Amino acid sequence: MLIYTAFSFAPVQGFIEKSRKLRDLFGSSLILSYLSQKLANAAHHPPERIVISPASIDMQEGMPNRILVKGLFSRDEVKQVLIQTWDHILQTCRIWIETHLPALDRYEWETEWLHWKQYTWEIFWGTGETSAAAMQDLERRKLKRDWVGINWVGESSSLTGTDAIAGYNLGKKNSDPGRSLTPQETEELELFYRRLSWLLDAPDSRLRQPALSLAELREYENQKPNEIGKYIAPNERLSIPELVKRLVTYEGIAIKFGMDKLKQKPEDPEFRDIRRDSGDWTGWFMGDGDEVGKHLKTLTCDEDQTRFSTAMRNWGKTFKHNFPRQSGRVIYAGGDDFLGVLYAEQGDPISTETALNWLKAFPEEWKKHKEPINVSVGFVWAANRVPQRDVLQHCREAEKRSKTLGRDRVTIRVVFNSGQFGQWSCPWGWLALLDLVQDWNHLYSDWAYLKARHAVRLKEFSQHEGVNHDLAISVLKYYLDREGKGLKNKDGELLDQCWKKVAGEDSPSAIVQWIDDFIQVGWQLCSNI
């Protein structure tokens, strides 16, 4: 009897999201793609077992973690391959640190690395007589968790709050989990991270040099503040998986297990090359295909599954490698999910006009894979002092908002140095509304006056003073539709007839809020164009 196997592992989004720097994100995507490729290679054993999806298993970059096999690949085999591969990554990183960064006394953290080996991943596995049945069985089994929690000891990570900080004495026995570090332990932890930071800033030359003292490291960092923190900032404190994410982006470690490198060519930029000088704004975009899992269920033919996977993987590869260097870079593109940044390497900082033109053209770029799925994107226009960790969180929230409001749309967030932000969401076809306003300053000031006089309300004040959207719509039409032909998108849809699709709801409060968001974000982005 013919049988199909479908399997995946988790957490994927959680593994990626626990990232404070772009290097973490890239390291996360490297690890996930590497694990998926090893699983796919182990499962592909013709003629007994043939991997149907993902296609092109010899291409590591952008490998999805959901794998469909024609044939039986047992859950025990999946677990064995995943744990062994992950253990190889962990052991390589741990041994590299212990070899090149000798402990003051001795390392007491091997048990904690073993815990991360055993308890990082959940494995989900299903079978069926057809590919659709196997995928459905996989989704059903996902409802049951496959995860074990550990009572960690030591200081908690500043990022996760639960993962212990990696250091010389991470697994020290008889340690009271509730106590604070002694001054000596605090100094040892500082020395560990300063030495590791110094070493990774120029590993090819410093691996053969004697380790510096804490005083020497502090003096060096004071003298050359712009030359430190390439991989790890001296004041950072990382958990074991966070540390691993950074280390796998170092080519000297990546080549030890055949992982893709951060820089495919010597001239490729490092992540720290993203310029964010005073006054510079950068555009960050994060997107994901809409209801891909639902679409996959409709592909009952093996050939269709392979064709779809091939199309999406090729699109991701092309999108990343053909992205114009003068405009920015794509951090990762795993088929239907991607993350990138718009910035200028040289010359003037990237303009809002350039960013918006790219955003308006993206739907046509997306359609190049020729598959019947839409895409939702979060786009963040960030001021220069907004931390990357915060920017990434805004990207995730903006993308989630696009999904929540109906998918097939973009959410634009303008994030200021203060942490405040404004946002506007719309279906892709309605981005062109930004081009119809001839005088943004006039529209913005009139709108602000109407709100101040309570002629336009965003919220109900009382039962008799509710939200009325008629005036708000009239203002919008006055400034955008001077010829009175009606506001239409490129498909000919009238705005008055599709408020629910555009704003997520067709209630007066939702419509007025959407118009307010449009004016606030549009003025910020377009008033100086």
CATH number of the CATH domain containing 42: 3.30.70
Q: Are residues 62 and 189 in the same domain?
A: yes
User: CA 72, CA 129: separation in Å to the nearest integer?
Assistant: 11
Which tens digits make up the pLDDT trace of 190-218?
A: 999 999 999 999 888 888 888 888 899 89
User: CA 471, CA 489: separation in Å to the nearest integer?
Assistant: 22
- 453: Cβ contacts below 8 Å, ≥ 6 apart: none
User: CA 147, CA 120: separation in Å to the nearest integer?
Assistant: 8
- Two structure tokens written together for 44: 């592909």
In the prediction, which pLDDT does 176 show?
58
| Structural domain includes residue 194 | yes
Residue 102: other Cβ atoms inside 10 A: 13
| Structural domain includes residue 44 | yes
Q: In terms of pLDDT, which residue wins out, 46 or 143?
A: 46
In the prediction, which pLDDT does 300 show?
80
Closest CA relative to residue 238, chosen from 24, 511, 63: 24
| pLDDT above 70 for 267 | no
Helices 214-223 and 183-201: crossing angle in degrees, nearest 10, is: 50
- What is the torsional sign of CA 378, 383, 387, 390? negative
| Structural domain includes residue 263 | no
**Opening angle at CA 193, ends 187 and 196, nearest 5:** 135
- 317: Cβ contacts below 8 Å, ≥ 6 apart: 59, 61, 62, 333
Task: Answer left, alpha or beta for residue 293, where phi above 0 means left and psi between -120 and 50 means alpha.
Answer: alpha
Question: Residue 104 — very low, low, confident or very high, per pLDDT cuts 50/70/90?
Answer: confident
Q: Are residues 168 and 241 in the same domain?
A: yes
| Structural domain includes residue 266 | no
In the prediction, which pLDDT does 264 show?
66
**Of 195, 230, 257, which one is at a domain's C-terminal end?**
257
Q: Are residues 339 and 365 in the same domain?
A: yes
User: CA 14, CA 287: separation in Å to the nearest integer?
Assistant: 16
Closest CA relative to residue 191, chosen from 203, 202, 179, 199: 199
| Structural domain includes residue 267 | no
Q: What are phi and psi of 330, to 5 degrees?
A: -95, 125
User: CA 97, CA 103: separation in Å to the nearest integer?
Assistant: 9
Question: Residue 522 — very low, low, confident or very high, per pLDDT cuts 50/70/90?
Answer: very high
| Structural domain includes residue 262 | no
Q: Are residues 253 and 293 in the same domain?
A: no
Quote the mean pLDDT of the chain.
87
In the prediction, which pLDDT does 24 show?
86
User: CA 124, CA 10: separation in Å to the nearest integer?
Assistant: 8
| Structural domain includes residue 264 | no
What is the secondary structure of 35-61 as a DSSP string? Answer: HHHHHHHHH-BTTTBEEEESS-TT--T
Q: Are residues 510 and 445 in the same domain?
A: yes
The enclosing H or E element of 291 equals none
Which tens digits make up the pLDDT trace of 270-304?
A: 665 566 777 789 999 999 999 988 888 888 888 99
Q: Are residues 357 and 448 in the same domain?
A: no
Q: Are residues 319 and 407 in the same domain?
A: yes
Q: Are residues 246 and 318 in the same domain?
A: no
Q: Are residues 353 and 423 in the same domain?
A: yes
Q: Are residues 418 and 442 in the same domain?
A: no
CATH of the domain at 279: 3.30.70.270
In the prediction, which pLDDT does 479 show?
94
Which tens digits make up the pLDDT trace of 323-358?
A: 988 888 888 888 788 999 998 877 788 999 999 999
Q: What does the chain come to in residues?
A: 529
User: CA 408, CA 412: separation in Å to the nearest integer?
Assistant: 14
Question: Residue 153 — very low, low, confident or very high, per pLDDT cuts 50/70/90?
Answer: very low
Q: Are residues 292 and 167 in the same domain?
A: no
Looking at residue 68, the DSSP 8-state letter turns out to be E
- Two structure tokens written together for 191: 């020395």
Looking at residue 271, the DSSP 8-state letter turns out to be G
| pLDDT above 90 for 319 | yes
User: CA 22, CA 331: separation in Å to the nearest integer?
Assistant: 8
Locate all alpha helices (DSSP H) within 120-213, ordered by sequence. 131-141, 183-201, 203-206
**Of 429, 453, 474, which one is at a domain's C-terminal end?**
429
Q: Are residues 395 and 278 in the same domain?
A: yes
Total tally of structural domains belonging to the chain: 3
* Helix, strand, coil % over all residues of the chain, rounded to 5: 45, 15, 40
Domain ranges, residue 292: 274-429
**Of 407, 429, 451, which one is at a domain's C-terminal end?**
429
| Structural domain includes residue 265 | no
- 397: Cβ contacts below 8 Å, ≥ 6 apart: 378, 413
Residue 220: other Cβ atoms inside 10 A: 17
Integer distance in angstroms from the first to the last C-alpha of the chain? 65
| pLDDT above 80 for 160 | no
Q: How much is the pTM?
A: 0.86
